[in-house]
Amino acid sequence: MTDWVHITTGAGAAFLASLVEAVEALTVVLAVGSVRGWRDALNGTAAAIGTLAVLVLAFGPALAFIPLRIVQVVVGSLLLLFGLRWLRKAILRAAGVLPLHDEDAAFAKTRAEMVGGARRGFDAVAFAAAYKIVMLEGIEVVFIVIAVAAGGSGLMIPAAVGAVSAAIFVVMLGLIVHRPLSRVPENTLKLAVGVMLSAFGAFWVGEGVGVEWPGGDAALFALIAGFAALVVTGAPMARLAARR
Amino acid sequence: MRSWLTTILDEAWSLFIDDIGLAIGATATVILTGAAVVIGEPGVITAPLLFLGLASSLLISVWRKARRRD
């Protein structure tokens, strides 16, 4: 009886903790896929899952000794780099300083290319963004499984089952919500992705350099709101600057 | 044929080409925040410092670009 309580508690804890990480990864993969195309976003996701599987098989519990802070600073900086650049362009477009994309034409072209599988070239940005987010969140899931497994003997398999169940649940969630997401105009999506990449990038860079976020992980919501507020204030400000 | 690494580096470098001020401002903000953590400033100081540094770098970059428009 005690064993079952131990096992179900371990699996449940791993499931819930992994669910949070998987949803974070899903959010960015969905956003990047909608803007840059699904093929390379999904390829990046698959490549990250493959890399993680190889790492887990090769190193196992030794993964716990990889300094997460270094990963957070490197990945966070790259996300910030992309995010701030997209946000800057989105603000300038919203202000009319840069021309808007012809969204209908661009969306139709992208969809036609994707449906026909005729999209030329490799979208390194979509691949890298999806790869990085899935790698980072995946490493955190591996840490969660190892931490839960350390709570008692025989907990490794229940913890791993909990984590894998969370991943499957989130993939199913992604299949349901990706279609409604594709109807949102591209410029709006780019703006939203810029906000999210900047917020996640700032959060991880902060974690990496040792910032103790007030409210813990909930600070992410404050960062998202903060960067969104920048768009609201930045667009009229850019309009004003352009008139002067 | 361009490798994917070249494309990534181009994408990252284009931020510097677009506006080096934004890249320098963001980098300086991260370094300053790290220094504040090292000297023992609490999260209620370092967290807003990081966000406000990034936010002001971005808004200054947007302002400069809007002013430069022909």
**A99-103, A104-108, A122-126, A168-172: range with lowest mean pLDDT:** A104-108
Residues of A in contact with B7 (CB under 8 A): 122, 124-125
Contact A124 B4 (CB under 8 A): yes
Mean pLDDT of B58-69: 84
Residue B56 or A156, more confident: B56
What pTM does this model have?
A: 0.61
Which candidate in A195, A207, A209, A240 is best for mutational testing of the B interface (most B CBs within 10 A)? A209
How far is the C-alpha of A36 from the C-alpha of A43, rounded, in Å?
A: 12
Host domain of residue A201: 2-243
Q: What is the dihedral of CA B31, B36, B39, B43, to 10 degrees?
A: -130
Residues sharing a CB contact under 8 Å with residue B51, sequence separation 6 or more, in sequence order: A202, A223, A226
Residue A101 confidence class, pLDDT cut points 50, 70, 90 = low
Give me the residue from B8, B18, B33 closest to A85, CB to CB: B18
Residues of A in contact with B11 (CB under 8 A): 82, 124-125
Residues of A in contact with B59 (CB under 8 A): 230, 233-234, 237
Answer whether residue A60 shows pLDDT above 50. Answer: yes
Please give the tally of structural domains in chain A.
1
| Residue B53 forms part of a structural domain | yes
Considering only alpha carbons, which residue of chain B is nearest residue A89?
B62
| Residue B17 forms part of a structural domain | no
Contact B54 A78 (CB under 8 A): no
Beta-carbon count within 10 A of A138 CB: 24
Residues sharing a CB contact under 8 Å with residue A217, sequence separation 6 or more, in sequence order: A20
Contact A213 B26 (CB under 8 A): no
**A99-113, A229-243, B15-29: range with lowest mean pLDDT:** A99-113
Please give the tally of structural domains in chain B.
1
Supply the pLDDT for residue A120: 55
Contact B26 A84 (CB under 8 A): yes
Residue B10 or A27, more confident: A27
Span A176-223, pLDDT tens digits: 776 655 555 666 767 777 787 788 889 888 988 889 999 887 888 899
Give me the residue from A82, A206, A227 closest to B33, CB to CB: A206
Q: What are phi and psi of A99, to 5 degrees?
A: -65, 145
Contact A212 B46 (CB under 8 A): yes
| Residue B63 forms part of a structural domain | yes
B12 touches chain A (CB under 8 A): yes
> Could you tell me if A198 and A84 are in contact, meaning their C-beta atoms sit under 8 angstroms apart?
yes
Considering only alpha carbons, which residue of chain B is nearest residue A231?
B59
Burial of B68 (0-12, 13-18, 19+ CB in 10 A): exposed
Considering only alpha carbons, which residue of chain B is nearest residue A228?
B55
